Amino acid sequence: MKKLLLLLAAFTFSVNYSVAQDDTGDEPVERPDRPERIKDRRLDKQLERIEAILDGDTSELSDRKLAFLESKKEFLNLQIDFRDALRSAVSDLGEDATEEERRAARGEVREQFADQFREFKEARRDRIRERRQAREDAAEEGEG
């Protein structure tokens, strides 16, 4: 019984090891169907990339992609403004401020921006509902 279990474990390990080996060596796998993803996730860098796309030739972009990029640009601007306001509110308190004072200052800033974030959420939900309704309408036309 022990020999069978050892043989099974050795076989499982060798299969997993051979499957995990990359045939190309250390080189990354090229995927021509996917654009290269940029690793930098900072908001200002994202905003710069979107502005560069919108300032360039947009003739090959669909209206839907343009609308998405413009909406994303507005949302990133709002997020940057929000973070700047948070930083300034906390820094205005000084280093001797208590955690309660910092928490209250952050809460005030959140309240200032709550309506704007809520508007973005509602607009996004409306766009999703419109697309869902358009798909349902198209499906009904196709059946009928």
Which band of pLDDT confidence, cut at 50, 70 and 90, is reported for residue 82?
Answer: very high
Question: What's the pTM value of the predicted model, to 2 decimals?
Answer: 0.63
Check: CB of residue 50 under 8 Å from CB of residue 76.
yes
Which is higher by pLDDT, 2 or 118? 118
The 10s digit of each residue's pLDDT in 86-107 is 999 999 888 888 999 999 999 9
- Tell me the average pLDDT across 131-142: 90
Look at residue 135 in the predicted model and tell me its pLDDT: 92
| Domain residue spans of the chain | 39-143
Look at residue 81 in the predicted model and tell me its pLDDT: 94
The 10s digit of each residue's pLDDT in 10-64 is 767 666 655 555 555 566 666 666 656 656 678 889 899 999 999 988 888 888 8
Handedness of CA 73, 35, 33, 55 (dihedral sign): positive
The 10s digit of each residue's pLDDT in 105-117 is 999 999 999 999 9
Which band of pLDDT confidence, cut at 50, 70 and 90, is reported for residue 76?
Answer: very high
Q: What's the rounded Cα separation, in Å, for the pair 33 and 29?
A: 12
Look at residue 21 in the predicted model and tell me its pLDDT: 54
